[in-house]
A and B are shown apart, each in its own frame.
Chain A
Amino acid sequence: MTPSPRRRPGLARRALPALALTGASGFLLSTLDHPSAIVDAGASTDGVTVVSDAASTTALSTPVTTPPTDPAPQSSATRATIPVTTAATTVVTTVPAAPTCTAYTGPSVSTKWGPVQVQAAVAADGTICSADAIVTPDSKSRSVAINDRAVPVLNDRAMASQGTDFDGISGATITTNAYRGSLQAILDAVASGSVG
């Protein structure tokens, strides 16, 4: 490496492994680091169902809220299918939504903590009018506490980003991923015209 009259290895030779390691670390870091990528939670469009054909019209920017009309039947129905990744559940709730928006219920995405299911009102062009997780893990008090905090934030972020390409919530990563999966399935279904 470094010519030395006494054949004593020089700094370059001694530092080479460490420098190579540092360089490899930098390369690996830049290759791996894609925190903003959409996480495919494995949902397909199969589980997406139309909730209602809302006909009334309001401005798209007006958030449409899913009325909490007796949510008990749907959540118990979903809970029965916990081990299944996608559980189609038709919900017979009428959403007083914007005319261009149709409410869909996404597939139930099961997580280690329990199922997550998103209901979203989406326009034909893919605009998200509203989104909400109607089913979240609730078997543990900690899950409830996390999701009480996380779900409103996720709803806002889904609206703000108009898609699933939004930042996750630390401490609620699994819920975030499942939420994205269920919502993305709705968006995919709308885009492909397979529902509605």
Chain B
Amino acid sequence: MAVVSSRLDTPLPPPVSPPRAARPSTATTRRLLQPARRSRMLDSDLAWLVGAYVALVIGIWSLHGGLTRFTEGTTGIATAVTQVSGLAASAVGLVGLLFTARPAFLERRYGLDQLFNWHRVLGETMAVLVGVHVVAAVLEWEVDGRWGAAIADLTGREPYMAGATVGALLIGVVTVTSLRSVRTRLSYETWYFLHLTAYLGFALSFGHQLVTGADFADDEIARWIWIALHATVTVALVWGRWGRVVRSVVRPLRVRSIEQVAPGIVTIRLSGRRLRSMRGSAGQFCFLRALTRDGWWRSNPFSLSEAPGRDGLRFTIKERGDASELLTSLTVGTRVAVDGPYGVCTPDIADGRKVLFVVGGVGIAPARAMLEVLPPSAEPVVLYRVHSADQLVHHDELVELATHRNGRVLALVGPSASLAERDPFSPAALARAVPDVADRVAVLCGPDRLLTAARSGLTKAGVDPSDLHYEHSWW
């Protein structure tokens, strides 16, 4: 295929080969999965939930001193800061943990990437609060300059404080390894396994909250409320997080076919009986875990590149690291545990309007899947950015699907330096390529740099920010 265009407004040529009759992707007779459930959750519901939780925590706090403690001199302030930072750290951390349980009522409304963004913000907040808590506790405990005695008390001579100390250290390690500069130097799995020790940190620091904490030591009702909250989150994690893994492993799908579509890019099709009960929509992604000797302990997310159907799930995977290399080298028949699908960027967001896709590289996968189920009224336009022509995948399918819906595929091919324009997603370039850009719902998928550039350009070109849909590739 010799499509080389350095400008955005270059449509891909029509399919070079006529569509194969056997290709299920464009057939309207495919039996698709039941669409993913929509959450009936509203933003206001979430606001109520958060408000009630905050009110509960503040209530517990103010019933046991609260602000009045700040008036009790400098030592009183140290005690008050210790109390409020500890309580807040625990309260914030609990919610952060809850998000990793991927509760469906939130995931179906806000998407997994949003939950993980919140998890990150809450985790960082908790780490700061834990730091404040530790410093304030030492200041509170110190008597007559005997810092050593205070630290010895707080790190083990007081009941449950050894656990709290180790717990705080673990939270510290988990936080540091999640800093961007450190995280990028670790492999995903090394980071992930380290991240799991946060569970241990939470468990170890639970005891001192109940025994030493001013909020719970003397108040049985508050203590039981706190225990109940922790139990709820634990159950959610066991069921939602690890139960999901177990269910996906117990009922795996199998590799039905695997095909190289470009250098380093393969499509892999999975099928199995579990699909009969599975729900899912185009545009979503799944975590795949190859049940092989060196694959069972890795789970990585990949986008569906075809509307999910009873006949199988298709993923388009680029070989980028150990995990994707493992998947691209699987053989037919291998069992693969599928966790998901997740994501809220589904064809529903079109809502009768016209759609614009801005995709980069293998980010084409969700766009390709959504094209298949969009109505003709969507008149989809796909802006497809790749660095070399051989990386253009699903070319024929894209053109055929788009053309059937009165849409088109525009490709922008070549290294950044070779492009005709320095910013290919400038408002002017976008308006020239897609004259009705401002009327469209935009779906973005690709590397962060592309997302940033496209978001900025589209917003300036008149697309309402609420019409921009994208999910960060946070993995």
Contact = CB atoms under 8 A, between A and B. Distances in A.
Interface of A: 4, 6, 8-11, 14-15, 17-19, 21-22, 25, 28-29, 31-35, 37, 39-42, 85, 110-113, 140, 142, 167-168, 170-171, 173-174, 177
B204 A29 contact: yes
A140 B77 CA distance: 14
B166 A18 contact: no
A163 B148 CA distance: 24
B294 A37 contact: no
B465 interface: no
Interface in B186-204: 187, 189-190, 193-194, 196-197, 200, 204
B337 interface: no
B302 interface: no
A18 to B, nearest CB: 4
Contacts of A112: 75, 140, 143
A21 B156 contact: no
A32 B144 contact: no
A142 B294 contact: no
Interface residues of B, number: 46
A42 B144 contact: yes
A3 B173 CA distance: 29
Label chain B's interface by main secondary structure.
Answer: helix
B297 A11 contact: yes
A110 B144 contact: yes
4 nearest interchain CB pairs? A32-B156, A18-B193, A33-B162, A32-B162
Interface of B: 65, 69, 72, 75-76, 140-141, 143-144, 146, 149, 153, 155-163, 165-166, 169-170, 173, 187, 189-190, 193-194, 196-197, 200, 204, 211-212, 214, 217-218, 294, 297, 322, 325-326, 329
Contacts of B211: 170
Contacts of B193: 14-15, 17-19
B218 to A, nearest CB: 5
A96 to B, nearest CB: 35
Contacts of B143: 41-42, 110-112, 174
Contacts of A9: 187, 322
Contacts of B325: 6, 8
B221 to A, nearest CB: 16
8 contacts: A19-B193, A32-B156, A32-B161, A33-B156, A41-B143, A42-B143, A42-B149, A142-B65
A25 B166 contact: yes
Contacts of B72: 140, 142
A19 B196 CA distance: 10
A173 B322 contact: no
B165 A32 contact: yes
Contacts of B218: 170-171
A98 to B, nearest CB: 33
B358 to A, nearest CB: 34
B170 A14 contact: no
A33 B214 contact: no
Nearest to B170: A25
A42 B214 CA distance: 25
Contacts of A29: 162-163, 166, 204
